[in-house]
Amino acid sequence: MKMKKLLAIGLSMAMTLSMLAGCGGNTPATSAPAEPAAEDTAEAPAADTAEEPAAEDTAEAPAADGEVQEITFMVWDDLEASEDLITKGYKQSVDRFNKDFEGKYHCTPITTNLEEYYDKLNALVTAGETPDVFIASPGANLNDYATTGVAAKMDDYLNADGWKQTFTSDAVFAGGTYGDDGGDGPGIYAIPLNIAAACVFYNTEMFEDAGAEVPKTFSELLDACQKLQDKGYTPITISAGTAWCLSMVAGYLCDRNGLNLQDIKDHKTDWKDEKVIKAGKQIQELSKYFQKTAAGDDNDIATAAFYNGEAAILIQGSWAIGQINGSCAEGFADKVGVFAFPAVDGSSADPNRVIAKSDSLCMSASTQYPDAAVQLIKYFVDDTASKYTAEVGGKIPVTSVQYDEKVAPPELKYVMDVFKNASSTFGFYNESLYDTEAGSTFDNCFVDIFTGTDPEKALDPIQEYYEMNVW
């Protein structure tokens, strides 16, 4: 009897403990195993731009002898499967880092798709498992991490060994610089990797065949589209399913009509401003020339329609160069031309402003291994990576690297021309508004407008959002 009781107690305890075992544990976010500790823990070579910064003021956890410092890097694409050339460059940087620091540091990437990137990152942050290094776009998303102490201030690392001087100018840090609202005081919270400008890519062969000219104004753009359509081509390929694609065009139209986002923030005007309404009507005019499946196509499908020769115009960021050249048929790149988004007829707004965006890396403020994390970030902006960014990826590098223009994709030169002629830059509207929800609401309003809703009515949600949360 006593034996039975003991058995019952033992079994009950085993059941309880086995159930609780599944709830605990601080396992790494990914299943990739850490590299085994190498016997040789000699100093690994540093990246080619700068030496490892002095770590006097950092709080690096002392690693046991021979223990590899394992860090994680979270990015919005699949490093293994992606055909995007910029993503392939990121993978090369991680591989170089892991090879050069074998036995000392090791980086395990956490990959996801762009659409769910911030959701997953936020979930990890909330769970106290912030990746040591993570990618972010300046704007509302980065604000969340920089102002709440999730991202570390990078000034000390940038100034430690002349690393900052390798960048083209201080202006490249503008998107990641915060004042008193920075989580750890004023400073730089994100290191830019490259710059992309939103431009209009066009198929020169189709334009020539249709007798269309490169448009300087919105009405000329409509004329060119009409000519292309008359010739049997699909004039514009765009994704409304991936809402930011459409909202990028909407942002350009609002800006070209003279809308100042600061005026909206300060409530000097509102979302029912005639400039926004006009931009909505112009989206509806332009949508007559979109591919018929624009509503259902996602960004990848819409971009593929351009590089597969199914459509003549793609309005997209210059990151598309990496995507196009990673997937298009040989020789297609020579057919691609680039022009700046046209001015709006009769508007006094500056027509030379360009939407620009940079991918930036943040280091977690709670990382156990800040030196390893900083070294990894350096591998993303060293000469090898920056040359790759320009020559293969087709993005504008942020460091003063010398790259071979003859090797770089031809589209990069056109984008650089657009960028050089720009009077100033502005961010994506959906990333420049009050917060991510405001940005998403803006996106949805323009998808609604695209589906045919009267712009005045379709803008109600963003107007109400600002009334409730901002003004």
Partner 1 sequence: MDKLLRNKKAIIMFIAPAFILFTLVLLIPICKAVYYSFCNYKTLHPIKFTGVDNYVKLFTKDRAMRAALKNSIFFMVFSIITQFIMGLFLAALLTNIRAGRNLFKNIYYLPCVLSSAALGLLWMFIFTPKLGINQMMASFGWIADCTEGPQWLFNTEGFIILPIIVISFVALWQYVGQSMMLYMAQISGISSDIYEAAAIDGCTKSQAFFKITLPLIRPMIATAMSLNAIGSLKFFDLVYNMIPEGFLGDKAHVLATHMYTQAFKFNKLGYGCAIGVVLLVMCLVVTLLINKFVKVESYT
Please, what is the minimum distance in Å from the beta carbon of residue 394 to partner 1?
A: 27
Locate 153 and state its tokens.
């201030």
> 182 by DSSP, 3-state: which?
coil
Stretch that binds partner 1, among 40-48, 218-226, 340-348, 435-443 (CB under 8 A): 435-443
* Binder of partner 1 out of 295, 333, 349, 416 (CB under 8 A): 295
**All residues at 6 or more sequence positions from 109 whose CB lies less than 8 Å from its CB, including other chains:** 30, 72, 73, 74, 75, 79, 91, 94
* Binder of partner 1 out of 132, 155, 297, 411 (CB under 8 A): 297
Look up residue 416 and give its amino acid. Answer: M
Binding-site size, partner 1 (CB under 8 A): 44
Nearer to partner 1, 113 or 402 (CB): 113
12 counts as binding partner 1 under rule CB under 8 A: yes
Alpha-carbon span 85 to 61, nearest angstrom: 35
> 134 by DSSP, 3-state: which?
strand
Nearer to partner 1, 252 or 380 (CB): 252
* Binder of partner 1 out of 219, 293, 327, 347 (CB under 8 A): 293
Nearer to partner 1, 130 or 194 (CB): 130
Locate 396 and state its tokens.
């504008």
Please, what is the minimum distance in Å from the beta carbon of residue 232 to partner 1?
A: 14
The strand pairing partners of 397, in sequence order, are: 194
The strand pairing partners of 82, in sequence order, are: none
DSSP state of 357: E
Between 22 and 41, how does the x/- string for binding to partner 1 read (CB under 8 A)? -x------------------
The Cα diameter of the chain in Å comes to 98
Nearer to partner 1, 108 or 440 (CB): 440
Between 439 and 458, how does the x/- string for binding to partner 1 read (CB under 8 A)? -x--xx--xx--x-------
405 counts as binding partner 1 under rule CB under 8 A: no
42 counts as binding partner 1 under rule CB under 8 A: no
Alpha-carbon span 180 to 30, nearest angstrom: 35
Of 392, 386, 426, 410, whose CA–CA distance to 168 is shortest? Answer: 386
468 counts as binding partner 1 under rule CB under 8 A: yes
125 counts as binding partner 1 under rule CB under 8 A: yes
* Binder of partner 1 out of 199, 243, 250, 433 (CB under 8 A): 243
* Binder of partner 1 out of 27, 31, 126, 424 (CB under 8 A): 126
Nearer to partner 1, 122 or 177 (CB): 122
* Binder of partner 1 out of 100, 298, 300, 456 (CB under 8 A): 298
241 counts as binding partner 1 under rule CB under 8 A: yes
| Rg of the chain in Å (alpha carbons) | 25
Stretch that binds partner 1, among 103-111, 240-248, 280-288, 377-385 (CB under 8 A): 240-248
* Binder of partner 1 out of 105, 118, 134, 380 (CB under 8 A): 118
Q: Are strands 234-237 and 311-317 parallel, antiparallel or unpaired?
A: parallel
407 counts as binding partner 1 under rule CB under 8 A: no
Q: How many whole angstroms from its chain centre is CA 420?
A: 21
**All residues at 6 or more sequence positions from 139 whose CB lies less than 8 Å from its CB, including other chains:** 175, 427, 428, 431, 432, 439
* Binder of partner 1 out of 73, 76, 134, 145 (CB under 8 A): 145
367 counts as binding partner 1 under rule CB under 8 A: no
* Binder of partner 1 out of 403, 435, 456, 470 (CB under 8 A): 435
* Binder of partner 1 out of 82, 242, 282, 360 (CB under 8 A): 242
Asked whether 277 and 257 are in contact (CB, 8 A), the reply is no
Alpha-carbon span 354 to 252, nearest angstrom: 8
Alpha-carbon span 162 to 362, nearest angstrom: 19
Locate 40 and state its tokens.
């040789």
Asked whether 448 and 464 are in contact (CB, 8 A), the reply is no
**Residue showing tokens 């940087």:** 93
Q: Are strands 105-111 and 177-178 parallel, antiparallel or unpaired?
A: unpaired
Binding residues for partner 1, rule: CB under 8 A, are 8-9, 12, 15-16, 19-20, 23, 115, 118-119, 122-123, 125-126, 144-145, 148-150, 240-243, 246, 292-293, 295-298, 435-437, 440, 443-444, 447-448, 451, 460-461, 464, 468
